[in-house]
């Protein structure tokens, strides 16, 4: 017997295909060129210490029927933002939720916070439509796309969308974690049967949070007490729709949900080790607790490996260890080819790559910058990359540096000149870190992660 999600997938495939047929390819290309730059969805969720509210615009749902069929998307979205919403979610499915791409476009133009396109994503063309109509993020449902999840995530990132991966049970969470989804939405509602399991949801939120993902409680939220329970489970954000759409004063309704403190997690600095050429050494590092393993593809490096060698290293790593490929001034075509052949999760760039170039890489980007001893971080330069990288690797610039020089220097940074690190900018600290000095570096700067290579050889 076909469940709701199966039925919707079939119907949405047909309706998206029909909509695309009304939008000539040239018009879609122009819309993609003219739409505003994407806003950083994930950063807005974790920019403050309280649980972020993602306020949703939807006129109807299959479980509740008509909710607010004549609501104005611009008026509603502006009220949400005035009430303190960190982001807006907009339904674009036209039959059961009475949404549209026009609603998405109107909201995107009306507010200055990121907008999530909420729909049943069935194709790459649909992802392009989301971005063309102003979305900054998109929903991808594991129960719908299954083992195609990694390709959907990759395409979303390439288009400029933050992929929000929705899960309902432990198996789907395992699939999301296996695809290294950075944003996970836990839905208490089974989309095949519409049954709701709030207690099971809280367990999944905790498990997703333990993986390091940014976690959204995506259903069953109607009151401040619900937000507090989600926060206690580990949620970074809540997505609220029906109760806000029914509220007489949506601005006040949002405000009533804000200000709930996020659960404080003990600060743990991640560890990345780079320059591996031997699978056995990489496995040993992973078993000692290293979070990310890097291999070098930069041409001319003494540690350079082939895509086949990298695949051999990555295939034996435990699940959950991130796989990073290091490049320097390589063309996109080579990066794409290496990514496809080796199984890279993230790309680290050490050349003169521009923000536009970084945004076109089909994997999360770590951008390397160099700072001379005693100098502060180049924040203006870094902010130019706000929309195109997930973190910065900070290394030491030495007197022998020349433009285009690549690779690590092995020279210790002046940590006091960098402290305190700016909030909201994930920093991977490099530069001459050794077992003897890494503890002091972490205590001084509390970076998101440390990157070690020559200091442990």
The per-residue DSSP string of 113-137 comes to S-EEEES----HHHHHHHHHTT-SE
Which structural domains are found in the chain, ordered by start?
4-255 (3.20.20.70), 270-456 (3.20.20.70)
pLDDT 10s digits, 268-320: 789 999 999 999 999 999 988 899 999 999 988 899 999 999 999 999 998 78
Q: Is 383 helix (H, G, I), strand (E, B) or coil?
A: helix
Q: Which of 121-130, 178-187, 414-423 has the lowest mean pLDDT?
A: 414-423
Query: In whole numbers, what is the pLDDT of the chain averaged over residues?
Result: 88
312 DSSP β-pair partners: none
* Per-residue exposure over 386-424, b if at least 16 CB sit within 10 Å of its own CB, e if not: ebbbbbbbbbbbeeeeeeeebbbbbbebebeebeebeee
Residues 6 or more apart whose CB falls under 8 angstroms from that of 296 comprise: 274, 275, 303, 304, 305, 326, 407
Buried b (16+ CB within 10 A) or exposed e, 6-25: eebbeebeebbeebbeeeee
**Distance in angstroms (rounded) separating the CA atoms of residues 137 and 45:** 12
Q: Which whole number is the average pLDDT over 233-248?
A: 95
Mean pLDDT score, 101-117? 96
Q: How far apart are CA 57 and CA 254, in angstroms?
A: 12
Q: How confident is the model at residue 403 (pLDDT cuts 50, 70, 90)?
A: very low
| Whole-number percent of the chain with pLDDT over 70 | 92
What pLDDT score does 446 carry?
A: 82
Q: Which residues are catalytic?
A: 274, 395
Question: Tell me, what DSSP letter sits at residue 341?
Answer: H
Of the listed ranges 155-159, 176-180, 452-456, the one predicted with least confidence: 452-456
Report the pLDDT averaged over residues 136-161. Answer: 91
Quote the pLDDT of residue 103.
97
Q: How far apart are the C-alpha atoms of 124 and 106, rounded to whole Å?
A: 22
Say if CB 366 and CB 388 are below 8 A apart.
no
Beta-bridged to residue 61, according to DSSP, are: 65
**Predicted confidence (pLDDT) at residue 423 exceeds the cutoff of 90:** no
- Write the Ramachandran bin of 214: left for phi over 0, alpha for psi from -120 to 50, otherwise beta: beta
Per-residue pLDDT for 397 more than 60?
Answer: yes
Dihedral in degrees, nearest 10, Cα atoms 187, 192, 198, 203: -70
Helix, coil or strand: residue 24: coil
pLDDT tens, residue by residue, 218-232: 988 999 999 999 999
Which pLDDT value is given to residue 454? Answer: 55
According to DSSP, residue 404 is labeled T
């Amino acid at each position: 017997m076909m469940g709701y999600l199966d039925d919707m997938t079939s119907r949405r495939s047909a309706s998206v295909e029909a909509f695309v047929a009304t939008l000539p390819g040239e018009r879609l290309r122009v819309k993609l060129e003219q739409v505003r730059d994407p806003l950083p969805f994930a950063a807005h969720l974790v920019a403050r210490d309280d649980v972020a509210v993602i306020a949703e615009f939807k006129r109807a749902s299959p479980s509740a029927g008509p909710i607010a069929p004549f609501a104005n998307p611009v008026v509603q979205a502006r009220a949400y933002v005035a009430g303190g919403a960190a982001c807006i979610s907009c339904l674009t499915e036209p039959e059961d939720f009475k949404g549209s791409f026009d609603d998405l476009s109107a909201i995107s133009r009306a507010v200055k916070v990121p907008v999530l396109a909420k729909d049943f994503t069935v194709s790459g063309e649909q992802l392009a439509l989301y971005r063309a109509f102003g979305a900054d993020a998109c929903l991808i449902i594991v129960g719908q796309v299954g083992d195609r999840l990694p390709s959907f995530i990759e395409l979303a990132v390439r288009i400029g969308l933050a992929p929000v991966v929705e899960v309902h049970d432990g198996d789907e969470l395992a699939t999301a974690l296996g695809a290294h989804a950075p944003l996970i939405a836990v839905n208490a509602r089974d989309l095949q049967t519409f049954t709701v399991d709030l207690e099971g949801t809280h367990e999944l939120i905790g498990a997703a949070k333990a993986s390091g993902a940014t976690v959204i409680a995506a259903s069953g939220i109607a009151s401040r007490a619900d937000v507090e329970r989600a926060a206690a489970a580990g949620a970074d954000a809540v997505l609220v729709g029906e109760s806000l759409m029914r509220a007489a004063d949506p601005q006040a309704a949002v405000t009533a949900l804000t200000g709930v403190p996020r659960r404080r997690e003990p600060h743990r600095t991640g560890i990345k080790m780079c320059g591996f050429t031997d699978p056995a050494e990489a496995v040993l590092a992973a078993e000692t607790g290293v979070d990310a393993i890097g291999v070098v593809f930069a041409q001319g490096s003494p540690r350079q490996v082939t895509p086949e060698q990298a695949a051999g290293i990555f295939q034996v790593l435990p699940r959950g260890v991130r796989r990073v490929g290091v490049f320097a001034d390589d063309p996109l075509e080579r990066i794409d080819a290496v990514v496809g052949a080796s199984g890279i999760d993230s790309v680290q760039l050490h050349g003169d790559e521009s923000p536009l170039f970084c945004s076109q890489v089909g994997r999360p980007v770590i951008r390397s910058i160099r700072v001379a001893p005693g100098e502060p971080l180049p924040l203006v330069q870094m902010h130019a990359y706000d929309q195109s990288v997930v973190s910065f690797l900070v290394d030491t610039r030495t007197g022998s540096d020349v433009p285009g020089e690549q690779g690590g220097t092995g020279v210790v940074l002046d940590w006091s000149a960098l402290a305190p690190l700016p909030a909201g900018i994930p920093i991977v600290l490099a530069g001459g870190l050794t077992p003897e000095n890494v503890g002091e570096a972490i205590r001084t700067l509390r970076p998101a992660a440390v990157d070690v290579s020559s200091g442990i050889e």
